[in-house]
Chains A and B, each alone.
Chain A
Amino acid sequence: MKLAQATNRRRFLAEAAIGSGALIAAPALAQSMVDLHLPGGPSERPMTSAFPGKGNMILQRIHPPLLETPMSVFNGDVFTPNDQFFVRWHWADIPTAIDVEAFRIKVHGAVTRPLSISLAQLLKLPRVELAAINQCSGNSRALFQPPVAGAQWRHGAMGNAKWLGVRLRDVLDIAGVKPGAVAVRFGALDQPVVAGGPDFAKSLSIDHARDGEVMLAFGMNGEQMPLLNGFPVRLIVPGWYSTYWVKMLNDIEVLAAPDDGYWMAKAYKIPDTPGANVRPGQKDFPAVPINKMIPRSWVTSLDEGQAIAFDRSIPLGGIAMGGDCGVAKVDVSTDNGKTWYKTVLGPDHGKYSFRRWDAQVPLTHAGPTRLMSRCWNTAGIAQPMTPIWNPGGFMRGNIETTNIVVG
Chain B
Amino acid sequence: MKTPSIGTLSFGFVGATVVLLLAIGSPNSRVAPPPAAPTAPPPPSVSARGFSLASTSVDLPTDEGQYPAGPHADVINANCTSCHSASMALNQPPLSGDQWTAEVTKMREVYKAPVAAADVPAIVAYLTAMSTKQPGAAKGKAQDPDPKAAPDVSGGSG
Contact = CB atoms under 8 A, between A and B. Distances in A.
B125 to A, nearest CB: 17
Given A29-B61, A101-B44, A123-B53, A41 B158 contact: no
Interface in B1-31: 1-4, 8-9, 12-13, 16-17, 19-21, 23-24, 27, 30-31
B157 A138 contact: yes
A394 B83 CA distance: 23
Contacts of A145: 143
B71 interface: no
B contact face: mostly helix, strand, loop, or mixed: loop
B145 interface: yes
B112 A98 contact: no
B51 A149 contact: no
B36 to A, nearest CB: 11
B57 A174 contact: no
B70 interface: no
B155 A267 contact: yes
Interface in A10-37: 10, 13, 16-17, 20-21, 23-24, 27-29
A195 interface: yes
B103 A149 contact: yes
Nearest to B45: A100
Given A62-B65, A98-B55, A121 B47 contact: no
Interface in B32-65: 34, 37, 40, 42-49, 51-65
B105 to A, nearest CB: 12
B136 interface: yes
Interface string A221-253: 000100110011000000001110000000000
A40 B3 contact: no
Interface residues of B, number: 79
A179 interface: no
A129 B2 contact: yes
Interface residues of A, number: 108
A125 B91 contact: no
Given A41-B134, A116-B24, A123-B47, A224 B53 contact: yes
Contact of A281 (B113, B134, B136, B145): B145
B149 interface: yes
B52 A2 contact: yes
Interface in A54-81: 59-66
A268 B158 contact: yes
Contacts of A64: 84
Interface in B108-141: 110-114, 134, 136, 140
B61 A50 contact: yes
A385 interface: no
Given A164-B1, A283-B149, A391-B152, 20 more contacts: A9-B54, A20-B60, A24-B61, A28-B63, A39-B136, A50-B61, A52-B59, A61-B85, A61-B91, A120-B48, A123-B48, A128-B4, A129-B1, A137-B156, A197-B111, A224-B54, A243-B158, A266-B110, A267-B154, A281-B148
Interface of A: 1-3, 6-7, 9-10, 13, 16-17, 20-21, 23-24, 27-29, 38-42, 45, 48, 50-53, 59-66, 88, 90, 92, 94, 96-101, 113, 115-121, 123-130, 136-138, 142, 145-152, 164, 170, 173-174, 192-198, 218-219, 224, 227-228, 231-232, 241-243, 262-263, 266-269, 279-281, 283, 391-392, 394
Which 6 pairs, one residue from A and one from B, show the smallest C-beta to C-beta distance? A267-B156, A41-B93, A147-B93, A281-B149, A52-B58, A281-B146
